Amino acid sequence: MKFVASKNLKRAGATALIAVATLAATGCTYTNDPATTIVYDASDGVSFTMWPEGKRVDMRNLLIISAGEGQPGRVLGTVYNTGDSQQTVTFNVGGGESFTLTADPGQVIKLEDEANQVIIPSTSKAPGLTIEAEGVIGETTEAFNLPVLDGTLPEYTDYVPGGSTAAPAETATPTETAVPAMPTVPAETVAPAEAVVPAETATATATY
């Protein structure tokens, strides 16, 4: 028996072929995340997202600025409550130190602002190291490593509690370009003076 496709079936087949061709041509869109959706830390701190009861709370670029181990430290970074309900975040930052932030729906808390500054009495690690820390919202807990920096970099100098004792990073001084010495021109050789030929002596002839 010869099978004859109906018009509707032919149309469905053509549509399927077009869909396959389109998918093949744009396969990268379905297999690779666009670069704009990839989360990365653009600065020196750590970033992560918490999901308490399905509500999203973003932590961005968190770090501590301190003059040294055992010294007070100021916490920098941003907390963004993207949800529609108030969220209270408790941060445990090692050495028994902790602090709590409350963010209203849609609120962005920038810890760099003086009104939101958080200073812990004692930093448990020296600058250049990280502190094992955790964020807690209700029953949701997120562990992370909190970087510790000092005031060496100029952008952090003003955030060191009590003032920075770190020497500022030196600015490289451009070296002078050596000017090549002028080539020495050899002195001209003086040609020896020509010897003077003595004039012939006239001989007098006596006449008698």
For residues 95-118, average pLDDT: 96
Contact by Cβ (8 Å): 160, 65:
yes
The model's pTM is 0.61
How far is residue 112's CA from residue 158's CA, in Å, rounded to a whole number? 10
pLDDT digits (tens, 9 = 90+) for 186-201: 555 555 555 555 555 4
Rounded to whole angstroms, the Cα distance separating 145 from 110 reads 19
Say how far apart CA 145 and CA 75 lie, in whole Å. Answer: 13
Say how far apart CA 73 and CA 130 lie, in whole Å. 13
Q: Which residue has the tokens 């007098």?
A: 204
- Is a pLDDT exceeding 60 seen at residue 15? no
Q: What is the pLDDT of residues 40-90, one digit of tens each?
A: 455 799 999 999 999 999 999 999 999 999 999 999 999 999 999 999 999
Task: Please say whether the beta carbons of 111 and 78 come within 8 A.
Answer: yes
For the segment 140-161, the average pLDDT, to the nearest whole number, is 97
Average pLDDT over residues 2-24: 44
Domain boundaries, the chain: 8-36, 40-149
Contacts (Cβ under 8 Å, ≥6 apart) of 13:
5
| The CATH number, out of the four listed (1.20.950, 2.60.40, 2.30.30, 1.10.10), of the domain defined by the range 40-149 | 2.60.40
**What is the residue type of 149?**
L
Judged by DSSP in three states, 120 sits in: strand
